[in-house]
Chains A and B, each alone.
Chain A
Amino acid sequence: DSGVTQTPKHLITATGQRVTLRCSPRSGDLSVYWYQQSLDQGLQFLIQYYNGEERAKGNILERFSAQQFPDLHSELNLSSLELGDSALYFCASSKWSTGATTDTQYFGPGTRLTVL
């Protein structure tokens, strides 16, 4: 158990809908990262927050957004969903935001999103 929690575990929805994925980082971790894992694209970095502020953006679509709240939990919002958005979405957390070898990213169990 990494200490990172994600809810829900599974989500099934229809095209055009909007969903929210939730992540609680490990105790004491200030950074939250969101990744998307699909069969064809592998694991791709979406966005990172550090202590409530956006730090970096990766291959995140404009239909997707995220935020980190004062209690450090984070939510990933996916809107106008398309079939191709079906994937596993992982949240990871780390203590800082340095990329140092001591700043390990710990991954949650993921949310499996299925868009029908």
Chain B
Amino acid sequence: QQQVKQSPQSLIVQKGGISIINCAYENTAFDYFPWYQQFPGKGPALLIAIRPDVSEKKEGRFTISFNKSAKQFSLHIMDSQPGDSATYFCAASDEGSQGNLIFGKGTKLSVKP
């Protein structure tokens, strides 16, 4: 049973464009939603995270939008750059699970110059 569904599987965006990755979850107990960025040959690195008491969080060019009623959240990358080309994973956890992360399947983003 996949508890966090992520789409699209892959995404190609032109430099300067907006990249949008969506995730949906099932478990209403989830209360922490991080996004991780992974470059080839590297481990995932935390990009930005949100809790369900806010609907949006912005850090530089990266924004998380959160819709609690729809059980969906998304990552927006503004002014996408070739250096943003990586695989992005959404994840979710709840304190009752000791913080163990349930990951989406990942989105491979390619930003074309």
Contacts and interface: CB of A to CB of B under 8 A. Distances in A.
A binds B: yes
Interface of A: 2, 4, 31, 33, 35, 42-45, 48, 50, 55-56, 58, 90, 92, 94, 96-101, 103-110
A110 B43 contact: yes
Interface of B: 31-32, 34, 36, 41-46, 49, 51, 89, 93-106
Contacts of B45: 2, 106-107
A43 B100 contact: no
B99 A109 contact: no
Nearest to A106: B46
User: Which 10 residue pairs across A and B have the least CB separation, nearest first?
Assistant: A99-B99, A107-B43, A43-B103, A99-B95, A42-B105, A56-B98, A45-B100, A107-B44, A99-B93, A55-B98
A44 B3 CA distance: 12
18 contacts: A2-B43, A2-B45, A31-B98, A42-B103, A43-B106, A44-B103, A45-B102, A90-B43, A97-B98, A98-B95, A99-B31, A99-B97, A100-B32, A100-B99, A104-B46, A106-B45, A109-B42, A109-B43
